[in-house]
Structure 1
Amino acid sequence: MATAPAQAATPVGWEGQALDLSAAQQQSQGDGVTVALLDSGVVPDHPALKGKVTTGPDYRQDGLHLGDPDWGQHGTAMASDVLKVAPKAKILSVRVTSDKDNEKNLPKELEDLRKQSDSPIAEGIRYAVDHGANVISMSIGSGDLFSSFSGSEAEAVAYAIRKGVTLLASAGNSGDTLNENSYPAGYAGVIAVAATKPGGGRADFSTVHTYNDVAAPGVGIISAKTTGGYEPINGTSPACALAAGVVALMKSKNPSLSPAQTNDVLIATAHHPAGGESALLGYGPINADAAVKAATSPPKDMTGPVAYKGRAHFAAPDGTSKTTHPPLEQGMWTTGLLAGGGGLVVLVGGVLLARSGRRIR
């Protein structure tokens, strides 16, 4: 019986040393972890991906299919970046966008998708959670279909976190020009990943924002092409995919690691920038080796629900009930009444004067 061809590893560039990847992979390879990739689709028979990809639904539903030029370019590259870090992890591909959606001046019908009760990304998150994903990687954000807030997406993020699934998203590629919110990176509970350049500084295109948590290499990252082979790409997209691979290593080492613990470990073990956390790189570039080591003994997760043991209703700090109103202060009431009365007199006088003027004319 013929044996399946061995998987060809995606070439590792400067990002390997920046992440301390070799040491991290000596501890974990991502065994038993499924990373859901919410993207433009993944070509499963690329040599770097063969036997590693399960294809889920297409929530973008734009009529494109595997083999079309605008299908799977971005997603295939991201899948190879995840597996570059966690070679024994599995990829669950859920299509929520098209390669065309990164273009400017999107048609209005595309923008309207996110105003529906369930946007493609919200449906993708829920599907991934319900089909065994341990990590969700979303290299989508500013400049494309998913750049504004969506209530259904926020609810889906909360659903994933309650189920113990860690979510990561690219911070965006708008640099420091507008400082606009980029979603899904801006949702509470999502780990927002900025991009670094060789040397550890912020890549010029990486969005500057206060919700940035950590950073990962994002310049000249060798990634898979849909037509076979590889090419270098830039963006917070590969930074997010590499970070998701690191989380896969962590989750493989400690399957009970919660989303909050994952975030805390990444932050605690990052290469902290001078001056501490900032909007440029969050808490700093990821140290994969240190993060995997720390995953075995994470800090206690304090994010669980806590029963309220106070009074039957919430009250303001001074004890005033939220369901009743304090008596109106007499002085303020009198002042307001006098002011209102004076204004009424002036108004009436003006009307009478105007009428009188008309009679004279």
Structure 2
Amino acid sequence: MAVVPGLSSVRGVPGLSSVRGVPGLSSVRGVPGQDCAQPGEDRINGSWARAMLQADAIGALETGGGTRVAVLSTGVDRGQPQLGDRVLAGDDTVDNAGTADQDCTGTGTQVAGVISGLRNGGDSDAAGLAPGAVILPVRVMPDDPAGSEPTPGTLTRGILTAVQQNADVVVVAAPVYRDDPDLKSAVATAVAQGTVIVAAVGDLGSRDDGNPDPYPASYPGVIGVGAVDQNGQIAPASQFGEYVDLVAPGVAVPALQTGRGLVETSGTAVAAGFVGAAAALLRAREPRLPPAEVARRLIATASPAPTGPAFGAGVVNPYAALTARVVDTEARRLPALEAAPLPDDTAELRRRAIAISSAVVAAVLVVGLLLAAAAFRRSRRQWRPGLAVRPKSPPEPLEPGPPVMLLDTPPPEPARRP
């Protein structure tokens, strides 16, 4: 979008809510910093998210051409230069009238950027994973930078609108926190007609926010997405539960800003955008792939992450999904990502070491006592104390003979005759 210097929008001025066709003006809606988001930076050096997801390698395999991705959010800025002419008019389900190809808030444009953003010359810091995909914007929440949320009704209408306009993939950028039968039915209808539904699990995962169940991420057939940071750790606000199927980059991610330029954004919405792009890449490669198989492929090829209800199957790995490299979990690693530093748990390790040492000493003492007892019982069976054997003496004669006189001379023997 071309922007008048000093103006990103002029909302509320009669005749200037939308000015198209005027040279240099595609949308003038408000004073910068008051109504709409200001233009972003011209350049942001480096994108850890693209490095983690091997974006450059993916581009050599598939671009997502021929697919249509619906972004259910605040709208998408059709005039953002790096989105080119690949943003359709879309629909506004909040007011049930008009298009959704303008985005004062910027959330929808940021999500669309990680899906289908083009390189800015040689700069690919905010380029999307599926730059060949066409974006169908569907506004399901008021376009208000002060903050807004969808309703079950707007999400229901948004999903059905996307299906009617032949979306291959639907990305729900913000959940609702009330189970609604109409919304659940809309999801079932979309999946039955072959539309892949990807939904952010929400950003109320901190202790103070209570981590309520998000919808439509909690419904069957929906790929629920949480957010991780550059160390592979879960984002502090990312929600957790059985509804999390995958995680993706969602902290300080370079993305397209409404109007022009780049901005760093965080949250499960942009993480859902990355997974939506991965689903579009699979659909471009295999158009007849059913939603359940798309989900199975993405989950089976996810890069491993710390276990727990916040990570699902792990970090989405579009390159592995495209090449169908389903390998043993222990053999896979997060691409281009250093392992997170271990927490300082010295006290806990010391406590465990003392406990283990004490257990070993106790076990040795018990074994020693058992061996001693066994030896004692064995010795009692083989040895008995007794009296010494009485020495034998010769028997005395019954009648003693005459005493022998030691000093008497024996009588001479008689002489023999010749």
TM-score relative to the length of structure 2: 0.61
SS at match of 1:222: strand
> RMSD of aligned C-alpha atoms?
2.7
Of structures 1 and 2, the one scoring higher in RCO (CA 8 A, sep 6+) is: 1
1:280 paired with 2:310, answer yes
SS at match of 1:140: coil
Which residue number in structure 1 is paired with residue 279 of structure 2? 247
Which residue number in structure 2 is paired with residue 264 of structure 1? 296
Distance in structure 2 (CA, Å) of the matches to 1:12 and 1:85: 15
Q: Given that residues 214 and 267 in structure 1 are in contact (C-alpha distance below 8 angstroms), is that contact kept between their aligned partners in structure 2?
A: yes
* CA 268–10 in structure 1, closer or farther in 2 if over 3 Å, else same: farther
Structure 1 residue 272, shift from structure 2 partner: 2.2
Q: Given that residues 192 and 212 in structure 1 are in contact (C-alpha distance below 8 angstroms), is that contact kept between their aligned partners in structure 2?
A: yes
Spell out structure 1 runs of 4+ moving beyond 4 A. 8-12, 62-68
Moved more, 93-102 or 219-228: 93-102
Consecutive unaligned residues in structure 1, runs of 5 or more: 1-7, 297-361
Structure 1 residue 100, shift from structure 2 partner: 3.4
Which residue number in structure 2 is paired with residue 342 of structure 1? none
* CA 151–245 in structure 1, closer or farther in 2 if over 3 Å, else same: same
Which residue number in structure 2 is paired with residue 195 of structure 1? 227
1:79 paired with 2:112, answer yes
Q: Given that residues 88 and 101 in structure 2 are in contact (C-alpha distance below 8 angstroms), is that contact kept between their aligned partners in structure 1?
A: no
Q: Given that residues 137 and 168 in structure 1 are in contact (C-alpha distance below 8 angstroms), is that contact kept between their aligned partners in structure 2?
A: yes
* CA 166–180 in structure 1, closer or farther in 2 if over 3 Å, else same: same
* CA 232–205 in structure 1, closer or farther in 2 if over 3 Å, else same: same
1:53 paired with 2:101, answer no
Aligned partner of 1:20 among 54, 66, 70: 54
* CA 17–45 in structure 1, closer or farther in 2 if over 3 Å, else same: same
| Residues matched between the structures, number | 272
Distance in structure 2 (CA, Å) of the matches to 1:256 and 1:295: 20
Q: Percent identity?
A: 31
Q: In the TM superposition, what are the counterparts of 1:1-361 in structure 2 within 5 Å?
A: 13-61=47-95, 71-83=104-116, 84-100=128-144, 103=147, 114=152, 119-141=153-175, 146-177=176-207, 178-275=210-307, 278-294=308-324
SS at match of 2:239: coil
Q: Given that residues 262 and 295 in structure 1 are in contact (C-alpha distance below 8 angstroms), is that contact kept between their aligned partners in structure 2?
A: no
* CA 232–22 in structure 1, closer or farther in 2 if over 3 Å, else same: same
Distance in structure 2 (CA, Å) of the matches to 1:21 and 1:200: 17
Consecutive unaligned residues in structure 2, runs of 5 or more: 1-41, 117-127, 327-418
Q: Given that residues 79 and 259 in structure 2 are in contact (C-alpha distance below 8 angstroms), is that contact kept between their aligned partners in structure 1?
A: no
Which residue number in structure 2 is paired with residue 315 of structure 1? none
Structure 1 residue 147, shift from structure 2 partner: 2.5
* CA 16–211 in structure 1, closer or farther in 2 if over 3 Å, else same: same
